[in-house]
A and B are shown apart, each in its own frame.
Chain A
Amino acid sequence: MKKDIILAGVGGQGILSIATVIGSAALQQGLHLKQAEVHGMSQRGGDVQSNLRLSSAPIYSDLIPRGGADLIVSLEPMEALRYLPYLAPDGWIITNTAPLVNIPDYPPMDAVLAELGKQPHVVALDVDALAKDLGAPRAANMVLLGAMAALLRILEPDALREGIRRVFARKGDAVVESNIKAFDAGLEHAQNKQQ
């Protein structure tokens, strides 16, 4: 089994903390993993992405081929669309709907949502609002991770919860629990959406 995932967002949003939790869970489960990141100049408020590959068999390329991604997971709706050429025909998009507008020519929001609506397999949710409602505004990433967990399959939700516990352990129990709560909210949202 293998899952190729494109994690997308804007520099500074923190897509890498999602990758860190998945990485921790994958390592614990004995999965093979490759995760290509981009550092440096492009981090300064520009578009950022990470190619994350998980497999039960050895992985060669650090990069996902075009048309090969099983999941596009994005913290920003327009950024989800940027990687459409990488999405496999039966692949899924899991995206935040709250835009991050830091450019003058950001497209109209209804155009972005309409474009997402044309895709056959989309889970779209406002992770910022969901996290805020839970009283954990800094755990928006984990809401998205939870939504993704409903479709990930190669890692069970429990393995990811364990990953969250390990990654956030040194920040104390309260932080761990609010991240778990955020994760569960995202998971539940996506499961309802799929039914």
Chain B
Amino acid sequence: MELDNPVIFCNFTGDNRCIMADKQLLLGDEALALGALHAGLTGVYAYPGTPSTEITEYIQAHPLTRERAVHCAWSSNEKTAMEGALGVSYAGKRALVCMKHVGMNVCADPLMGSAMVGANGGLVVAACDDPSMHSSQNEQDSRFWGTFGMMPVFEPSSQQEAYVMTRAAFDYSEKRGIPVILRLTTRMAHSRAVVEPWDEIREQNALKYPENPRQWVDLPVNARVRNRQLIRDYAQFEEDAAASPFNFLKDGPDHSLGVIACGIAYNYLMENYPDGCPYPVLKISQYPFPKALVRELAGMVETVLVLEEGQPLLEERLCGVLDPGIVVHGRLDGSVNRDGELTPDAVRAALGLPALPVQPASAVVAPRPPALCMGCGHRDFFTALNNVLRDYEGARVFGDIGCYTLGWMPPFRALHTCVEMGASVTMAQGAAYCGTWPAVAVIGDSTFTHSGMTGLLDAVNTDADIVVCISDNLTTGMTGGQDSAGTGRLEAICEGLGVPRAHIRTIVPLPKNYPEMEQVIREEIEYHGVSVVISRRECIQTAKRHAKK
């Protein structure tokens, strides 16, 4: 499609399988998913998270998944997902792990470990970043994990490239024996474009255990050897990146400026020059970023503009790579917005082009923030909780991640904290230790099985005086209603973790039940130990879908 970019029409592995099948209109997420299926995927392992959810959903719905019995059930969290995929890789087959950027923190332990043991079957970790925080709590840039863990990172600039690159990432992972991070950002993950897949679909790998079994036992005696190897390999990864067809340097007639454009920043650059960019351009979509190409670009110009989506990873690293005489513009000097995602307008301004004529925003328009759906069980739960806590001046409510985080907003104003998955339970425990009473945790069912269970065990073991409210809507609601790992077993899980049966209470959040709900919550506040109140009613969105079936 982008005719000046030859990459997308050729196969990374160098053979000539360029026969195109039917064109499809795919999200970046879906293009990645199709690329993985066509690359001979054996399993996708994931926990839902915006903007990554559609990768796994696409695989779940694809006929090839059933035909080949591709593993596609949701994992309890990103750590278990990463470990499951690592097991597939150990057995010589191809696995994909998908998550939103903050999921990378949850799976950091096995992720860093996977770089140490390496990949046997191709292992690709899709990390979907959310600059501008459309649906997230921070803007962290997943490319940093590549540098940190010494792993290559691929970053597509178009949906077609996402398709092609996924297969290339699997091939590369097996060729170099290393997991590959595939980074998307919101605008790539959730934007649709025409994708032309290949006709040829690769077979799945056969079972084949690693040739270097010692490397998979990450004890110090083996790890020291492997670490040195990995450091040597990382230099090789950079050489590979310099030769990669996904990275290219294209000269231009005007050498007053050179532009480095990473991933989809390349699109925002080219948007401004329909007839071709007048400046030399270095497109980077495969990391570690090739210093040789950066120096080659800098050799042509005196000023460099760095365009990258997310944090200024490359820009910060140019110190020590470029001659001190070279002026670098980017996010650090304010030429490009320091936070938030790139836009065609921000890039236009950074290039010194005049803004298009724009009329001012209308003063009539009122903000319309997201809100809990009318009829949602979380609403009734918060109403009852607020009614009770009005009588307890010192009450603090520790929130968590999900639709119910919207309970912080009016009219409920029911939460005091929201940090990350599972923090409600353990922060309540810590605050209760300091004398906070009542200390109430509010967590959803899916978040509870993702990261709340271990915290509840801590609370039981320390006999913390807290009330853990699990607002159970029988689904993973915020991301669109995926299966929730503990559905039907929450009472048993809490009892197994050591919460006394008498203090595991279940209520049905409906207006007619307010008196009973309030009484239960009040009783459990007055009980000085760990208690769990499960407020259970199906998400009205999934209930609607179920009713249609």
Query: How far is it, in angstroms, between the C-alpha of A43 and the C-alpha of B444 when the chains are bound?
Result: 18
CB neighbours of A59 from chain B (8 A): 193
**21 residue pairs bridging A and B, Cβ less than 8 Å apart:** A32-B194, A34-B192, A34-B193, A35-B193, A39-B54, A40-B478, A41-B50, A41-B370, A46-B370, A47-B367, A58-B2, A60-B268, A61-B268, A63-B344, A67-B356, A67-B358, A68-B344, A82-B361, A89-B357, A107-B364, A111-B364
A144 to chain B, nearest CB (A): 19
Q: Mark A39-53, 1 if CB is under 8 A from B, else 0.
A: 111111111000100
CB distance from B297 to the nearest CB of A (A): 20
State whether B190 touches A46 (Cβ < 8 A): no
Answer yes or no: A36 CB below 8 A from chain B CBs.
yes
**A112 interface residue per 8 A CB criterion:** yes
Interface set, chain A 93-112, CB cutoff 8 A to B? 102-103, 105-107, 111-112
- Other A-B pairs beyond A36-B191, A39-B53, 17, CB < 8 Å: A34-B192, A39-B135, A39-B480, A40-B51, A41-B134, A41-B478, A44-B373, A62-B193, A62-B264, A67-B356, A67-B358, A67-B359, A68-B344, A68-B356, A82-B361, A86-B358, A107-B366
Q: How many residues belonging to A are interface residues under a CB distance threshold of 8 Å? A: 55
Report whether A44 and B134 are in contact in the complex, using a CB–CB cutoff of 8 Å.
Answer: no
A14 interfacial contact with B, CB 8 Å: no
Q: Which residues of the partner chain B approach A32 to less than 8 Å between Cβ atoms?
A: 1, 193-194
Q: What are the residues of chain A within 8 A of B267 when measuring CB–CB?
A: 60-62
A-B residue pairs, 8 tightest by C-beta: A40-B135, A40-B50, A67-B356, A46-B370, A61-B271, A44-B370, A62-B191, A36-B191
Contact residues of A: prevailing secondary structure: mixed
User: Separation in Å of the A19 CB from the closest CB of chain B?
Assistant: 8
Report yes or no: B187 in contact with A78, Cβ–Cβ below 8 A: no
Chain B nearest CB from A194 CB (Å) reads 22
Of chain A, the residue at the smallest CB distance from B405 is A41
Q: Which residues of A contact B359 (CB under 8 A)?
A: 67, 84-85, 87
Q: Mark A149-162, 1 if CB is under 8 A from B, else 0.
A: 00000000000000
Minimum C-beta distance from A148 to chain B (A): 18
Using A35-B193, A58-B1 as known contacts, say yes or no to A85 and B370 having CB atoms under 8 A apart: no
Query: When chains A and B are docked, how far (Å) is the Cα of A170 from the Cα of B367?
Result: 38
What range describes how many residues of B lie at the interface?
35 or more
Q: Are B134 and A38 neighbours in the complex by a CB distance under 8 Å?
A: yes
Q: Which residue in A41, A67, A78 is a CB contact (below 8 Å) of B366?
A: A78
Report chain B residues within 8 Å CB of A24: 25
Cβ contact within 8 Å between B365 and A82: yes
Q: Does B512 belong to the interface (CB within 8 Å)?
A: no
Q: Tell yes or no: A10 within 8 A of B by CB.
A: yes
Report the nearest B residue to A61, measured CB to CB.
Answer: B271
Q: A46-B368, A68-B356 are in contact. Are A82 and B188 (CB under 8 A)?
A: no
A81–B403 contact, CB under 8 A?
Answer: no
- Per the 8 Å Cβ criterion, residues 72-94 of A in contact with B are 78-79, 81-82, 84-89
Contact string against A for B residues 455-484, beta-carbon threshold 8 Å, 1 for contact and 0 otherwise: 000000000000000000000001110000
By a CB distance below 8 angstroms, the chain B residues around A34 are: 191-193
B406 interface residue, CB < 8 Å from A? yes
Within 8 Å CB of B16, what residues of A? Answer: none
Q: Is B343 located at the chain interface by the 8 A CB criterion?
A: yes
Q: Which residue of B lies closest to A67 (CB)?
A: B356
Closest residue to B51 on the A side, CB-wise? A39
Nearest-neighbour CB distance to chain B for A82, whole angstroms, equals: 5
Would you call B362 and A84 a contact (CB within 8 A)? Answer: yes
> Which residues 1-49 in A have Cβ within 8 Å of B in the complex?
10-12, 19, 23-24, 26-27, 32-47
Q: Is B208 among interface residues, defined by CB-CB distance under 8 A?
A: no
Known: A41-B370, A67-B357. A35 touches B191 (CB 8 A): yes
What are the residues of chain A within 8 A of B24 when measuring CB–CB? 27
Whole-angstrom distance between the Cβ of B287 and the nearest chain A Cβ: 22
Instruction: Please give, as numbers and ranges, the residues of chain A lying within 8 Å of B368 by CB-CB distance.
Output: 10, 45-47, 78-79, 102-103
Is B69's CB within 8 Å of the partner chain A? no
Assembly CA distance A41 to B355 (angstroms): 31
Q: A135 at the A/B interface (Cβ < 8 Å)?
A: no
How far is the CB of B421 from the nearest CB of chain A, in Å?
A: 15
